[in-house]
Amino acid sequence: MSILVNKESKIIVQGITGSEGSFHAGQCLEYAGNVVGGVTPGKGGQTALDGRVPVFNTCAEARAKTGANVSLIFVPPAFAADAIMEAADAGIEVIVCITEGIPVADMVGVYAYLQTTSSRLIGPNCPGLLTPGEAKVGIMPGFIAKKGRIGVISKSGTLTYEAVHQLVKVGLGQSTCVGIGGDPIIGTKMVDLLEMFEADPETDAIVMIGEIGGSMEIEAAHYIKAHVRKPVIGFIAGQTAPPGRRMGHAGAIVSGADESAEAKMKIMRECGLHVVDSPAQIGVTVRTALGVQVA
């Protein structure tokens, strides 16, 4: 089993005729074969990816013609907010926005709009979703993952890949990997995904990778203490970051006492998470938490 996407998912790519959209749509299609269409206004009726994928003018048309339930967005920052809302307006259930640099003011409006719909947004500024062997929606390298029973939640794209690598090294596969993005306003938070993984009977443990700045990891830790019975292995990036300086992501800036890596890790340990000091310890720690002997 998995969360959010699987082999039954039907994916459309907004911005499929652009260079990035075309390249990554091709990667997703090659991985699992479930890219069913693309959307570029004014280019409806054309095809993309060497004639393998039809292009539509709107998400509504694409959904009506293909039955799409997932949208992957590669649209420039100035137009990405409208693209997200267009997908939601068309009734797309899962929207994955890769675009980096969307203005915060635009995302405030998007977030409010999404509350009036049944759509779920992953991102923006994220690597997307990967259910190994079933669906790739975004830019995660599918070849590094393998099918298994460990859920992965991460603010960082590269640390998602490192966590997957560490898990595979010790013989553990993944149920679904979710890169949530590091912007100040994102569509789906850690708590939302923890609830999904806890309810998934084929996920045995969860890896949660956070970073400095904001309170999302603290909220997640308290949620885990109250509601999650599966082992959760946690890591916080930015342990050497000075207060007041943004490190990498737009949301990665320490502005309060509880927003440093040290403070977050302390709270996570108090809430029962298995906290590691380095990503290199993730795989071994997951196996230990599951009671599996490490070779």
DSSP letter for 260, please.
S
Residues tagged active-site? 249
Q: How many residues does the structure list for the chain?
A: 295
Return the residue matching tokens 């090659």: 30
Question: Two tokens at 261?
Answer: 């890596």
Strand order from edge to edge, sheet including 147-154: 135-138, 128-131, 174-179, 147-154, 205-211, 232-237, 274-275
Full DSSP string of 34-100: -EEEEE-TT-TT-EETTTTEEEESSHHHHHHHH---EEEE---HHHHHHHHHHHHHTT-SEEEE---
Q: Which amino acid is at 124?
A: P
- Rounded Cα distance between 141 and 85, Å, is 27
Contact present, 211 and 277 (Cβ < 8 Å): no
